Amino acid sequence: MSETDRAERLVAVFDLVGPLYRRAWRQVEQDAPVEGLTVGLRAVLSLLRQHGPATVPQLGRTLALSRQFVQRTINDGAALGLVEPVPNPAHRKSSLIRLTDRGGAAMDALVGRERAVLREVGRDLSDDDVEACVRVLARLLRHLDDMGH
């Protein structure tokens, strides 16, 4: 494939990422096991679940979201009893945010449901295709990250 043709196919990747993001977003808000669990909050809770407590700036960087947006999302999550601030031993001024028991349980329920759906979709896909997809998306993200700095 020529470089130009491959660029065309990457345009096709981006043309899929937008609708996919928006539909998945709507599905998350529709299926949420907790009233008020938005897609932004889900992203934050998922990260806390995978990697443990983190500061607002750390969450913002990893999720490509502004610090202000993450802070608002954390406030919403705290009001729902899903996250709470705890003292940060490394940095007195920037609290660590962690999942509450309720937040952990809500995420376990959501992730369990999502995996059941993805197990079903995955039946039609080959392992190689899925790995290739992860490689391509990670590469595109790294490139956009580099452009932004």
Q: Rounded distance, CA 10 to CA 140, Å?
A: 9
Instruction: Look up residue 17 and give its two tokens.
Output: 């990422």
CB of 89 to its own copies, least distance (A): 28
Of these, 19, 89, 93, 101, which contacts its own copies (CB under 8 A)?
Answer: 19
27 interacts with its own copies by CB under 8 A: yes
Find where tokens 């995978």 sit: 50
Closest CB to its own copies among 23 and 91?
A: 23
Render the burial of 22-47: b for 16+ CB within 10 Å, e for the rest: eeeeeebeeebebeebebbbbbbbeb
Of these, 89, 92, 101, 124, which contacts its own copies (CB under 8 A)?
Answer: 124
Closest CB to its own copies among 47 and 105?
A: 47
Of these, 34, 37, 46, 103, which contacts its own copies (CB under 8 A)?
Answer: 46
| DSSP 3-state of 98 | strand
Q: Rounded distance, CA 135 to CA 141, Å?
A: 10
Q: Which residues bind its own copies (CB under 8 A)?
A: 1, 3-4, 6-24, 26-27, 39, 43, 46, 62-65, 111, 114-115, 117-125, 127-141, 143-145, 147-148
